[in-house]
Structure 1
Amino acid sequence: MDGQQWAAERDNSPVLKRSIIAGAVGVLVHWFDWAVYAYLATTIAEVFFPDQSKAAGLLAVFAVFAVSFAIRPIGALIFGPLGDRIGRRKTLSLVILSMTGATLLVGLLPGYQSIGILAPILLVVARLVQGLAAGGEFGSAASFLAEYSPSRHRGFGVSWLEVGSLLGFLGASLTIFLLEVTLSADAVAAWGWRIPFLLAAPLGLIGFYIRQKIEDTPDFRILEERGKIADAPLREVFTGNWRQLLQMAGVEVLQHVTFYVVLVFLLTYQTQYLGLSSGGAALVSTVTSLVAVVLVPAFGALSDRVGRKPILLSSSVALLVASYPLFLLMREGGLVGAAVSTIGLGVILALILATHAVTMAEIFPTRVRQGGLSIGYNVTAALFAGTVPYLMTFLIDRTGNLMVPAFYLVLVGVVGLIATLTLRETVGTPLLTAQDLAAPDPTAEPEPAPTERA
């Protein structure tokens, strides 16, 4: 594929639209399931851990939530380097099939009252499979979208990955809201909780079909045609790109913790600790997701004009300055205060979501991009994302201080600020680098050693 063909394919509007849908649809399914599990934590505790106290059952559900994150780095180590060897499209298809099957299993599982201890064991198995698949989703999708997006609109194109994640959360919160207003609490506990998990299965199959119909990225195909595919991408990313991995760790701590506080933990926080109704808290979360869905592509497009660093720096400073006042308003202001403060946090989150994925994609060379993104994203997710609900619940329970989440967000704002300051500005940089094209062909025969003349 020559340069003109490559540029033409990037700028082909129907191809670009299909690639955006293919990249975002699996993320939507993944986060729909993840959010539904978190939103239904209290009900799932009753179904699978009925012999525990209310607090212990909730902690058990969040522990299973965290375990599924703990295994994500293994999924990253499998699917990340695999995508750098066999292509983005194939790994995207593999992970969405795995994710869909595990989500369907959760929706069909009998409860503890039916099969005893086997019920929570199977729940853990299903969540582990979901965790493995999730370990390959972000790196595959972010690489795919970055490599398909035109350079001048790359921030906008890659931002749709997080639009997909927000739509997943939006769909989940809206589904929970509809369950709350149409079914009794007993009906939700008996069978209604299964509906969202069962709805995710056909969405996943549609996503698989779409991903099967799209070509792999132009960048990856160029590497294939020139024999530049990395023979050992895992070793290469650790030996040649360790600095980028550290930078990504800092940025992703900022992203993960803010994401999980705002869109996962706040629903439980507002109902369990602030006394809001489940329906009211779900409605606030839905409105916040809608605001972020609109703002993320707008901020992504803005980053194409002003740069990635100003957007990321603004988000870190905003967390430092605004987290405490917003949580104070949430605690004291009733439903209106909760809505205003949650939306304010959602705006800060949108700044992060709009730019973190494209910035990280731009700092890694194409040969190891999917592996680097997968490892950096999922190691930090295992340590700092899945632990958010459990850690916040534990600390509030031990300290009695309802401002714990605000202090945590201030801390990650500091981490994000330091990490962003170490980054170079990446807007407009080519994704195929000299490191990619100068690499030796791993499939080529070695040159014969020169022979001595007599």
Structure 2
Amino acid sequence: MTDTLHSVSALRATSAMTAEEKKVVLASSFGALLEWYDFYIYAALAVQLGHLFFPKGNETAAFLASLATFGAGFLIRPIGALFFGRLGDMVGRKKTFLVTIILMGVATVGVGLLPTYDQIGIAATYGLVLCRLLQGLALGGEVGGAVTYVAEHSPVHRRGAYTSSLQTTATLGLLSSIIVVFGLKLILSDKQFHDWGWRLPFVLSLLLLIVSVYFRAKLHESPTFQRMKAAGATSRAPVTESFTQASNLKCIVLLFVVAAGLGAIFGTGHFYSMFFLNKTLKVPMEEVQLLIGPALVVVTPLYVFFGWLSDRIGRKPIMALACLLAAVTTQPIFKGLTHYANPGLERFLENADIVVTARDCNFRLFAEAATECDKVTGLLADLGVQYRSEQPALGAPTTVKIAGRLVEDFNPDTLRQALVSAGWPSSADPSKINRPAVFGLLFVLVLYLAMVYGPMAAFMVELFPARIRYTSLSFPFHVGAGWVGGMLSFVVTAMNVYSGNPYFGLWYPVIVSGFAFVVAICFVPETRGRPLD
């Protein structure tokens, strides 16, 4: 039987992809695009949802809570990976990722139908978190199923190129969500969008879900799985096998580290860059979307290019180089974004000294600010300014000193006026934004993602044996990429608030991607050309 399977693999390696296999790639990619659109539409509306579903009184706390809820969808992905991975290895790839797309669509439409915090209070927050958890559960099963399904249909010498088509859907999903939100904001007034227009992008996914389910239902099961099932070689306990075999466990650990590097690049380029431009640099979100959108369009074919290139020179060198470049250039890129998008803020950060002298500073995520220090530091962080903290004498009141001027009234308008008087720009000057330079820096960030993500699907599939492949690759990928990437904006922003420095949190993705580079170079094997049966 083993010799027969090897002969089939050799034959497939020399044959062109059939019409059926092309249909597999297209149908799988469309379904994956829908899943990513559903998942990313929340990111495109994170600021809006922060106002609608969380307690009022602290803009930074509401925004961080919104980011944390966004991250919750990533945190649960490994559970979805184990649950659906086990099903995929036992009952089949096709049936499993048909279920995941239905679950994702239902959860997304649910967000669009939820009452807001003003209508039902904290129950709205819980409902939003529940929908995000269901989305994450579905996506945990989708990624592993789609890449396994497509890879097991692909010729060995084109595996990187064909599976990389799936990887474009992450970027295209984000781009689609941006286009939909941007288009709605053009045709609706601000009040209409705030009152009900924000619901439309979520409800729209119902139509896409129907189309995607129709196409996926017509697909056939993976030929590799069919051969395993016919030979009685499927696993009865894929989770146990994945984590109790020493050689397989080693591969799981290595994939986790590489996926963490991917997550750091992914979260920085796709999400935090937009939040940084909008929240910190005060560039209007519509302008941010007009800058990031073209970068996503231009980079999309490069996912396939790097997948194709990995079929020729290997997966490992391309992914490792992306992690190295991200580690070295992330800090300079974000300082460059400040320089080119809001040069007035750059000058202010260099010259204005802001000192907060206070005790009892506690940042409470899902509640209103409790102390004067919480209110002041939350506001300063929300305004994107750099400050330092000092301990007062025992019994002394909280004070803020801006460029040498003592501010005793902590009313937000008073603090803003004091900052403006010291030279702080309350918004980015449109005439001073160097759009080609900002576009170039954003493109570099998403280029790193294309480099590491394009070959990643083929690399993951080739790393594990067929009988436990779905389970083995899904779990470490979602722990690494999902937890690091999904929570990155929250962690970076929280680190910035804690330090009072708008760049401090960026050391988080720098360290993660740098560590991934070292591990990739020293321990990760080259998988190009490995048989999948």
TM value normalised by structure 1: 0.91
Corresponding residue SS for 1:193: helix
- Off by >4 Å, runs of 4+ in structure 1: 1-10
Which amino acid letter does the alignment assign opposite residue 62 of structure 1? L
- Asked if 1:100 is matched to 2:100, the reply is no
Q: CA deviation at 1:176?
A: 2.2
Q: CA deviation at 1:67?
A: 2.1
- Asked if 1:286 is matched to 2:386, the reply is no
**After the TM superposition, which of the residue ranges 88-97 and 340-349 deviates more from structure 2?**
340-349
Q: What is the aligned partner in structure 2 of residue 82 from structure 1?
A: 87
Q: What is the aligned partner in structure 2 of residue 307 from structure 1?
A: 314
Q: What is the aligned partner in structure 2 of residue 234 from structure 1?
A: 239
Q: Deviations over 1:128-154 (max 9, x none)?
A: 211211111111111111111110100
Q: What is the aligned partner in structure 1 of residue 66 from structure 2?
A: 61
Cα distance, 1:12–1:317 mapped onto 2, change above 3 Å: closer
Q: What is the aligned partner in structure 2 of residue 343 from structure 1?
A: 443
What CA distance in whole angstroms lies between the structure 2 residues aligned with 1:293 and 1:93?
A: 25
Which amino acid letter does the alignment assign opposite residue 528 of structure 2? V
Q: Is the 8 A contact 1:174 1:283 kept in 2?
A: no
Corresponding residue SS for 2:236: coil
Cα distance, 1:52–1:366 mapped onto 2, change above 3 Å: farther
**After the TM superposition, which of the residue ranges 155-164 and 13-22 deviates more from structure 2?**
13-22
Q: What is the aligned partner in structure 2 of residue 411 from structure 1?
A: 511
Following superposition of structure 1 onto structure 2, how do residues 180-195 of structure 1 map, counting pairs within 5 Å?
180-195=185-200
Which amino acid letter does the alignment assign opposite residue 398 of structure 1? Y
Q: What is the aligned partner in structure 2 of residue 449 from structure 1?
A: none
Which amino acid letter does the alignment assign opposite residue 156 of structure 1? A
Q: What is the aligned partner in structure 1 of residue 269 from structure 2?
A: 262
Q: Deviations over 1:323-368 (max 9, x none)?
A: 2222221111124232221111111111011112211111101111
Q: What is the aligned partner in structure 2 of residue 45 from structure 1?
A: 50
Q: Is the 8 A contact 2:38 2:105 kept in 1?
A: no
What CA distance in whole angstroms lies between the structure 2 residues aligned with 1:22 and 1:82?
A: 21
Q: What is the aligned partner in structure 2 of residue 428 from structure 1?
A: 529
Which amino acid letter does the alignment assign opposite residue 308 of structure 2? A
Q: What is the aligned partner in structure 2 of residue 251 from structure 1?
A: 258
Q: What is the aligned partner in structure 1 of residue 228 from structure 2?
A: 223
Q: Is the 8 A contact 1:39 1:268 kept in 2?
A: no
What CA distance in whole angstroms lies between the structure 2 residues aligned with 1:288 and 1:407?
A: 24
Q: Is the 8 A contact 2:493 2:505 kept in 1?
A: no
> Across the two proteins, how many residue pairs are aligned to each other?
432
What CA distance in whole angstroms lies between the structure 1 residues aligned with 2:507 and 2:121?
A: 40
Q: What is the aligned partner in structure 1 of residue 78 from structure 2?
A: 73
Q: CA deviation at 1:205?
A: 2.1
- Could you tell me which of 15, 20, 23 is aligned with 2:20? 15
Q: Is the 8 A contact 1:75 1:131 kept in 2?
A: yes
Cα distance, 1:295–1:316 mapped onto 2, change above 3 Å: same
Q: Is the 8 A contact 1:75 1:136 kept in 2?
A: yes
The structure with the largest alpha-carbon Rg is 2
Q: What is the aligned partner in structure 2 of residue 387 from structure 1?
A: 487
Root-mean-square deviation (CA, aligned residues, Å) is: 1.9
**After the TM superposition, which of the residue ranges 120-129 and 300-309 deviates more from structure 2?**
120-129
Corresponding residue SS for 1:424: coil
Q: What is the aligned partner in structure 1 of residue 281 from structure 2?
A: 274
Unaligned runs of 5+ in 1: 433-454
Q: CA deviation at 1:234?
A: 0.7
What CA distance in whole angstroms lies between the structure 2 residues aligned with 1:381 and 1:298?
A: 22
Cα distance, 1:133–1:190 mapped onto 2, change above 3 Å: same
Corresponding residue SS for 2:454: helix
Q: Is the 8 A contact 2:320 2:452 kept in 1?
A: no
Q: What is the aligned partner in structure 2 of residue 176 from structure 1?
A: 181
Q: CA deviation at 1:110?
A: 1.8
TM value normalised by structure 2: 0.78
What CA distance in whole angstroms lies between the structure 2 residues aligned with 1:382 and 1:266?
A: 17
Which amino acid letter does the alignment assign opposite residue 220 of structure 1? F
Q: CA deviation at 1:13?
A: 2.8
Q: Deviations over 1:236-274 (max 9, x none)?
A: 111121001011011100111211111112211111101
What CA distance in whole angstroms lies between the structure 1 residues aligned with 2:62 and 2:332?
A: 32
- Could you tell me which of 295, 303, 310 is aligned with 1:296? 303
Between structures 1 and 2, the one with greater helix share: 1
What CA distance in whole angstroms lies between the structure 1 residues aligned with 2:463 and 2:161?
A: 17
What CA distance in whole angstroms lies between the structure 2 residues aligned with 1:244 and 1:321?
A: 27
Q: What is the aligned partner in structure 1 of residue 404 from structure 2?
A: none
Q: CA deviation at 1:405?
A: 5.2
- Asked if 1:157 is matched to 2:157, the reply is no
Q: CA deviation at 1:99?
A: 0.5
Q: CA deviation at 1:21?
A: 2.0
What CA distance in whole angstroms lies between the structure 2 residues aligned with 1:369 and 1:275?
A: 45
What CA distance in whole angstroms lies between the structure 2 residues aligned with 1:5 and 1:430?
A: 10
Q: Is the 8 A contact 1:154 1:304 kept in 2?
A: yes
Q: CA deviation at 1:155?
A: 0.2
Q: CA deviation at 1:37?
A: 0.6
**After the TM superposition, which of the residue ranges 234-243 and 402-411 deviates more from structure 2?**
402-411
Q: Deviations over 1:398-427 (max 9, x none)?
A: 223222354233212212212322122111
Q: What is the aligned partner in structure 2 of residue 353 from structure 1?
A: 453
Unaligned runs of 5+ in 2: 342-432
Corresponding residue SS for 1:188: helix
Q: Is the 8 A contact 1:28 1:165 kept in 2?
A: yes
- Asked if 1:400 is matched to 2:490, the reply is no
What CA distance in whole angstroms lies between the structure 2 residues aligned with 1:239 and 1:11?
A: 38
- Asked if 1:321 is matched to 2:328, the reply is yes
- Could you tell me which of 473, 477, 483 is aligned with 1:373? 473
**After the TM superposition, which of the residue ranges 111-120 and 291-300 deviates more from structure 2?**
111-120
Q: Is the 8 A contact 1:19 1:145 kept in 2?
A: yes
Q: What is the aligned partner in structure 1 of residue 212 from structure 2?
A: 207
Q: CA deviation at 1:12?
A: 4.0
Which amino acid letter does the alignment assign opposite residue 54 of structure 2? F
